[in-house]
Structure 1
Amino acid sequence: MVALVPAEAHGDERGAFLNFIEAQRAAIRRAALGLTEEQAASRPSASTLSLSGLIKHVAEVELNWLRLAQQVRNEKGRTQETWGDGFRLVEGETVPQTVEFWAGVAKETEEFVRSVPSLDDTFPLPPAPWFPKDGQVSIRWMLLHLVQEIGRHAGHADIIRESLDGKDSFTLIAAEAGA
């Protein structure tokens, strides 16, 4: 995987969104490349974020947005009491299992995005002060939001990984490519 999404890789608007989202997903997954479970769970800064927790969080966030767009209940939805568990692996969870779960979410996201009649189709949001005031967003808005959300956390993942062992994203891209 190169650091930039090739211009010819997407084909159309849906493909462009999906490729940019996948590039950000890959950056987060790559940040955990070669780490033990303990290293991935460590918090090398003043922040409470860990790489394994970020992987879990973005997988659950993507699933939440997908379920909102599908207008179905999110079986992995969090309550105020379990909100913190969305940022760390709990008993029995591993990085490979969490990455596999996220791969399933990514596949379902792509199938959904490719199946909707229009990226202009809208869906309602539950009332919350952090959501747009009108309570409706389009599929296009959701995809842009996923690029933003996952990209923000990809930056966090880069910083955490560099804090652990000094490996930056370009070093990890080369390692992933076998260079």
Structure 2
Amino acid sequence: MSTQTPQAVESTETVEAVETAEGQYPASTVEGPTPEHSDLVAQLRASRHFLKFTARGLDDEQAARRTTVSELTVGGLIKHVTSVERAWSAFIAVGPAAMPDFHAMSEADFEERVKEFRLLPGETLLGVLTAYEAVARGTDELLLGLADLNASHPLPSAPWFEPGARWSARRTVLQIIAETAQHAGHADIIRESLDGQKSMG
């Protein structure tokens, strides 16, 4: 399968196998502008796979169901990670202007952020997964088209960022990968608590 990328960058995929609870999952190794571009996109795709895999066979009610003392659900986590990836990809492209100013956020703004973790009335698992796929395609195209992974932007002002810190495109991609992998683990626990299904093992 080929991936269209900006600036006419061509990419192809080779297939390896990763063992999961459902057998072997074909993991893409993307050949991009440099081996590092390829490795970053391939790892991000693998992390996305394991997150989406936790939703296999679920209906909307199950995807929205709490199965532990946590408020988190499988569908809500996929929805949240979609928002996270969208925001950080925009940061890579245009810098801190793409992200909200924490100090200017209202109580209503924070309530909207909390909603990212839940499937709301009228939202479906299919809709959430479709949105995630669209964001993933955009991120992959952006990353494979980057001329310089060292290009950096100042981080927006927020209590959880060091004042004056800058993140390169590389560092930002690693953040997306880390958050996706972390939440894939959360979703795996939620799914196993629901019906005993596991992503691996």
Q: TM-score range by the shorter chain?
A: 0.7 to 0.9
Count of residue pairs the alignment pairs up: 170
Q: CA 1:148–1:158 in 2, change beyond 3 Å: closer, same or farther?
A: same
Report the Cα offset of residue 8 of structure 1: 8.7
2:189 is the alignment partner of 1:159: yes
What is the percentage of aligned positions where both structures have the same residue? Answer: 37
Conserved? CA contact 1:68–1:124, under 8 Å: no
Report the Cα offset of residue 154 of structure 1: 0.6
Separation in structure 2 between the aligned mates of residue 36 and residue 7 of structure 1, nearest angstrom: 26
2:89 is the alignment partner of 1:59: no
Match of 1:139?
169
**4+ runs of 1 displaced by more than 3 Å?**
3-8, 72-75
Q: TM-score, normalized by length of structure 2?
A: 0.77
Match of 2:66?
43
Task: Write the deviation string for residues 59-78 of structure 1: whole angstroms up to 9, x where unpaired.
Answer: 00000101112226469x99
User: Mean alpha-carbon deviation: is it higher for 64-73 or for 151-160?
Assistant: 64-73
- Aligned CA RMSD, in angstroms, stands at 2.5
3-state SS of 1:169 partner: coil
Larger radius of gyration: 2
Match of 2:135?
105
Q: CA 1:73–1:142 in 2, change beyond 3 Å: closer, same or farther?
A: closer
Instruction: Indicate which of 28, 47, 52 corresponds to 2:51.
Output: 28
Task: Write the deviation string for residues 120-156 of structure 1: whole angstroms up to 9, x where unpaired.
Answer: 0002221012124333100000111111110000100
Give the helix-richer structure, 1 or 2.
Answer: 1
Separation in structure 1 between the aligned mates of residue 80 and residue 28 of structure 2, nearest angstrom: 30
Conserved? CA contact 1:63–1:74, under 8 Å: no
Separation in structure 2 between the aligned mates of residue 3 and residue 132 of structure 1, nearest angstrom: 39
